[in-house]
């Protein structure tokens, strides 16, 4: 660190505020402003004060008093361009430079101005503030060329792309937007990538393009500066050093090799961007809120929050490359591309190529503003501001044409691979508590304070988990995973030894010291996961490390690429990694593997599908063990065994979103619903306080617009069908292990009833839309005769006799199939007694096995004309008594079977008169008989073709 730099008072203020400094292109003048001062000062640096070395401005400054309130922003045009100022008085004013003569009011806003910026040619001035729009103003005729709207908060930083293609803007919430100047459209939106200063108006987010226009510098969330790609908006790298608090201002050196950054910690660091290393620093009494490199030489102008400024000589060590080396200063001005250099110099516009002294000799020291009449005459395309944008668009098309290959394709820069993230965590914010983990069980939060953090664990349902005492965190944990038995925490590499720490905290143990930790030297923990009696961490060396609950190192596996996310539930661990570099379209290529830790097997392996041009934002399991993923385009997919293992889209944020401002931060899901927290733009994640409100959204498949006009019913049909398929699979798996499936049978039964109701609604829509073939197909999917009779009722009311005949034929076929008695199903006994229930033998639908509709006991209103002889009904009753005869031969007590036979005889009598009957056998008798004492499990309507089976 060099000698301490002393600052000189330029503006008087009683409290810290926003101050600005800009260095003129001649290297001889500085302009300063302060939000608590109505004056703009122009300092002449050509003659240092007597007895001074030139560390501050010499002579009396030119004072501009044209604003009624404090000046919040200033910007200087190229070469001898004009000076613009914005104020709390909502106005933007223009002055000549360096004379300072007032040229006029440019525009007015309804709220204070926060940021100004000229493009490289000086033809456009961008202005923004607390209003909801960015105004692009033509400096030729002071007309507004375009208004850009997209930010949801005050716009605090603006920067034009040096290549004339884009404008970058940032707001107080930390959201960055790339604007395409030729169209005015948003090209990229980077939400919440910078600190949130919405509650502190004295600190403004800023951003800046590197002079070559290849990357954009943005303040990061970890006291760093993050570089983003020019074309893709992807993160390239970050500069992280000894800033102890957030970076609030920075400035590129003229050649783009160095970057000066100032932070809330009152430090200014000088970075060698290529080496990603800070090479010099200065500590100040107050926060430095404005920086500006000298266009020629090795000097940096600074101004603090109290309005004091100074010049830091040789911020780059003299042994290193100069910050202006390689800079070409004698390029023709873009406004005068049809004029040669001599003509430009003849107008008094300096073109520098040499030392500061040479430039002073060549310049007159009194620069007049660019003549608007002359510019209009020499450059016709600048007559109107809109034509300026058209020229930008034309230049962009020429550039694309030059970049075309022989095959006609345009070369594109490769997108960056997605960084690893912990599902349910939120970025750090200065002075605010953040989530390390948030799921349906509870949350783990952290608050940084004086070099260490306080970590707390809270359960949503206090009765479900124990009360966990808070912990003092000296490691700086940034990620966590939580379940009922404990939580695991981890931090990135830090310290001199560059070590990462993994810690597990059990919530209950018979031993006093059951907490354990692991250290990884030169290996960084990227993501963590928890399951049943195991802890997992995936590291930067592409190692999957699995530990037991007590800390025993069980397995170390190699994954196929850099990890993106991981999630655990029970015995299952899901890990998502990069399968390859991103595609030229920007699509991520991800691979997912699911491991069964208990059995040491791999159950799922394959590509993870994502919506085009999106990235993964959440990964997790439902409580019943279903795996799901959510991408940045708002699509939720769940894994299903259907079709040999497929990812099924079950939710689309575009359809569910009630407002364009809604952002869904996923917490979890179950069989039919998504649990999330709705964040209002520009926020994309929740804050800890106030406590987030959980929102429940129904699944919705991305269906095409149907010609039936019954999208909601079709969605219900697909979701119910999917849910029933999963239940059937579980029943099959549990029966294979001899487990009780009674609860699942009941759930499947309810779903089958719901599915039949959906089908009947779709049949009604088909009748209304004259889709008779589709209605017939739907009728064959109905699972019960009663549902088929309901379908016949619908087509009869619709006066479709041909369809009625088709449905009657389907019903007749179904009833004839039901006459075939299925084989007896062996069952066990319960408490030494044998129980009986009535089971309807039904024909299974083509899609899956079905259970009869047992809820609707209303009498049938339609009696189809099906030929049935008394002999057929008698044969049915004989078959119904067959099981009774078998039990008699085995010597069992068949008194209850005889009672049931008596009931069936009465039922046969009813058949002759009504053609059907309803029997309730759960605590009630059939007809008027009071002799039965059978209590089956279900209340069901039956027909004469029912059979009896034993159940436990």
| pLDDT at residue 333, as a whole number | 43
Give the pLDDT band (50/70/90) at residue 512: confident
Q: What is the pLDDT of residue 898?
A: 56
In this prediction, what percent of the chain has a pLDDT beyond 70? 74
pLDDT tens-digit series, residues 604-620 = 999 999 999 899 999 99
Question: Tell me, what's the pLDDT at 139?
Answer: 85
- Whole-angstrom CA distances from 551 to 222, 421, 478, 554, 684 are 30, 24, 20, 9, 36
Structure token pair of residue 353: 């190529």
pLDDT mean over 490-502: 81
pLDDT of residue 339: 40
Please name the helix (run of DSSP H) or strand (run of DSSP E) that holds residue 76, with its range, or none: strand 71-76
> What digits encode the pLDDT tens for the residues 137-147?
988 888 888 89
Q: Is the pLDDT of residue 538 over 90?
A: yes
* pLDDT of 13 above 80: yes
Instruction: Please compute the mean of the pLDDT values over residues 680-702 and round it to a whole number.
Output: 87
pLDDT at 393: 56
pLDDT of residue 381: 35
Rounded to whole angstroms, what are the CA distances from 69 to 85, 106, 285, 365? 12, 16, 27, 30
Residue 680, pLDDT above cutoff 90: no
The SS3 call for residue 106 is: strand
**pLDDT tens sequence across 224-260:** 999 999 988 899 999 988 888 899 999 999 999 999 9
Q: Which pLDDT value is given to residue 920?
A: 38
Which range is least confidently modeled, 519-528, 575-584, 920-929? 920-929
Lowest mean pLDDT across 347-356, 410-419, 590-599, 662-671: 347-356
SS3 572: strand
pLDDT at 202: 80
H/E stretch holding 814: helix 801-818
The token duo for 801 is 């006799």
Pairing of strands 471-473, 479-482: unpaired
pLDDT band at 475 (very low <50, low <70, confident <90, very high): confident
The side-by-side arrangement of strands in the sheet containing 144-149 is 113-118, 124-129, 133-138, 144-149
Higher pLDDT: 268 or 242? It is 268
Please write the tens of the pLDDT for every residue from 15-60.
888 999 998 888 888 999 999 999 999 998 875 554 444 344 457 8
Structural contact between residues 475 and 499, judged by C-beta atoms closer than 8 angstroms: no
To the nearest whole number, what is the mean pLDDT of the chain? 78
Query: pTM surpassing 0.95?
Result: no
Tell me if the bond preceding 104 is cis, omega within 30° of 0: no
pLDDT of residue 453: 86
392 pLDDT band (50/70/90 cuts)? low
């Amino acid at each position: 660190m060099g000698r301490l730099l002393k600052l000189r008072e330029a503006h008087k203020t009683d409290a810290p505020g926003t101050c600005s400094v800009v260095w003129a292109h001649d290297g001889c003048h500085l302009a300063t402003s302060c939000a608590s001062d109505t004056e703009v000062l122009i300092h002449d640096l050509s003659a240092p004060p007597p007895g001074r070395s030139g560390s501050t401005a010499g002579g009396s400054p030119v004072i501009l008093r044209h604003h009624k309130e404090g000046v919040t922003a200033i910007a200087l045009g190229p070469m001898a361009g004009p000076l613009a100022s914005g104020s709390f008085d909502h106005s933007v004013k223009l002055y000549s430079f360096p004379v300072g003569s007032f040229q006029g009011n440019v525009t007015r806003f309804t709220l204070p101005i926060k940021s100004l910026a000229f493009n490289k040619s000086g033809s456009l001035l961008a202005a923004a503030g607390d209003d909801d729009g960015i105004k692009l103003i033509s400096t030729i005729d002071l007309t507004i060329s375009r208004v850009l709207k997209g930010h949801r908060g005050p716009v605090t930083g603006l920067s034009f792309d040096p290549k004339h293609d884009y404008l970058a803007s940032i707001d107080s919430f930390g959201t960055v937007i790339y604007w395409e100047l030729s169209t005015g459209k948003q090209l990229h939106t980077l939400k919440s990538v910078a600190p949130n200063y919405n509650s502190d108006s004295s600190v403004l987010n800023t951003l800046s393009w590197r002079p070559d226009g290849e990357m954009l510098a943005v303040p990061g969330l970890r006291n760093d500066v993050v570089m983003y790609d020019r074309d893709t908006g992807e993160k390239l790298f970050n500069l992280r050093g000894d800033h102890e608090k957030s970076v609030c201002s920075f400035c590129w050196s003229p050649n783009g090799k160095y970057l000066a950054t100032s932070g809330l910690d009152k430090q200014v660091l000088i970075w060698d961007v290529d080496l990603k290393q800070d090479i010099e620093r200065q500590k100040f009494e107050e926060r430095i809120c404005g920086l500006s490199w000298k266009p020629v030489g090795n000097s940096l102008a600074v101004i603090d929050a109290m309005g004091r400024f100074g010049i830091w000589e040789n911020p780059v060590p003299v042994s290193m490359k100069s910050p202006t080396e390689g800079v070409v200063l004698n390029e023709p001005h873009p406004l005068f591309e049809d004029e040669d250099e001599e003509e430009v110099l003849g107008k008094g516009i300096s073109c520098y190529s040499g030392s500061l002294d040479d430039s002073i000799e060549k310049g007159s020291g009194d620069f007049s503003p660019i003549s608007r009449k002359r510019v209009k005459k020499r450059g016709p395309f600048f007559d109107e501001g809109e034509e300026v944008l058209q020229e930008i668009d034309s230049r962009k098309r020429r550039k694309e044409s030059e970049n075309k290959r022989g095959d006609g394709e345009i070369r594109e820069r490769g997108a960056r691979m997605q960084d690893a993230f912990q599902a349910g965590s939120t970025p750090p914010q200065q002075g605010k508590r953040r989530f390390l983990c948030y799921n349906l069980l509870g949350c783990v939060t952290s608050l940084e304070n004086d070099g260490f953090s306080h970590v707390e664990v809270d359960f949503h349902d206090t009765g479900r988990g124990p009360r966990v005492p808070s912990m003092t965190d000296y490691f700086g944990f940034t990620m966590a995973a939580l379940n009922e038995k404990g939580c695991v925490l981890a931090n990135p590499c830090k310290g001199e030894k560059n070590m990462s720490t993994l810690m597990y905290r059990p919530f209950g143990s018979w031993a006093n010291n059951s907490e354990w930790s692991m250290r990884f030297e030169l290996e960084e923990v990227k993501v963590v996961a928890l399951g049943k009696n195991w802890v997992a961490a995936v590291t930067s060396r592409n190692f999957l490390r699995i530990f037991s609950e007590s800390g025993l190192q069980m397995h170390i596996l190699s994954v196929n690429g850099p990890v993106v996310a991981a999630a655990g539930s029970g015995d299952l661990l899901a890990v998502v990694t990069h399968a390859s570099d991103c595609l030229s379209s920007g699509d991520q290529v991800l691979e997912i593997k699911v491991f069964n830790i208990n059995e040491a097997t791999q159950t799922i392996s394959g590509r993870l599908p994502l919506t085009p041009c999106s990235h993964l934002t959440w990964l997790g399991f439902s409580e019943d063990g279903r795996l799901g993923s959510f991408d940045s385009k708002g699509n939720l997919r769940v894994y299903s065994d259907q079709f040999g293992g497929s990812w099924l889209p079950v939710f689309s944020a575009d359809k569910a979103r009630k407002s364009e401002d809604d952002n869904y931060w996923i917490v979890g899901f179950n069989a039919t619903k998504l649990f999330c927290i709705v964040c209002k733009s520009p926020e994309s994640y929740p804050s800890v306080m106030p406590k987030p409100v959980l929102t429940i959204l129904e699944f919705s498949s991305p269906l095409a617009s149907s010609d039936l006009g019954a999208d909601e019913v079709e969605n219900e049909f697909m979701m119910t069908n999917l849910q029933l398929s999963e239940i059937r699979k579980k029943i099959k798996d549990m029966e294979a292990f001899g487990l009780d499936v009674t609860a699942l049978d009941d759930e499947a039964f309810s779903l089958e009833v719901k599915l039949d109701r959906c089908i009947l609604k779709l049949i009604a829509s088909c009748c209304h839309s004259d889709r008779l073939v589709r209605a017939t197909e739907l009728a064959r999917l109905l699972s019960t005769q009663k549902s088929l009779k309901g379908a016949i009722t619908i087509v009869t009311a619709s006066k479709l006799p041909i369809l009625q005949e088709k449905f009657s034929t389907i019903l007749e076929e179904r009833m004839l199939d039901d006459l075939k008695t299925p084989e007896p199903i062996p069952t066990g006994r319960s408490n030494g007694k044998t129980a009986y229930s009535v089971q309807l033998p039904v024909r299974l639908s083509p899609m899956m096995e079905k259970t009869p509709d047992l809820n609707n006991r209303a009498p049938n209103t339609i009696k189809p004309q099906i030929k049935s002889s008394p002999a057929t009904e008698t044969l049915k009753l004989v078959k119904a008594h067959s099981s009774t005869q078998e039990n008699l031969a085995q010597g069992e007590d068949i008194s209850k079977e005889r009672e049931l036979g008596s009931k069936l005889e009465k039922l046969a009598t009813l058949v002759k008169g009504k053609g059907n009957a309803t029997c309730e056998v759960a605590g009630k008798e059939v007809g008027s008989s009071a002799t039965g004492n059978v209590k089956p499990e279900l209340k069901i309507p039956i027909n004469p073709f029912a059979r009896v089976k034993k159940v436990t």
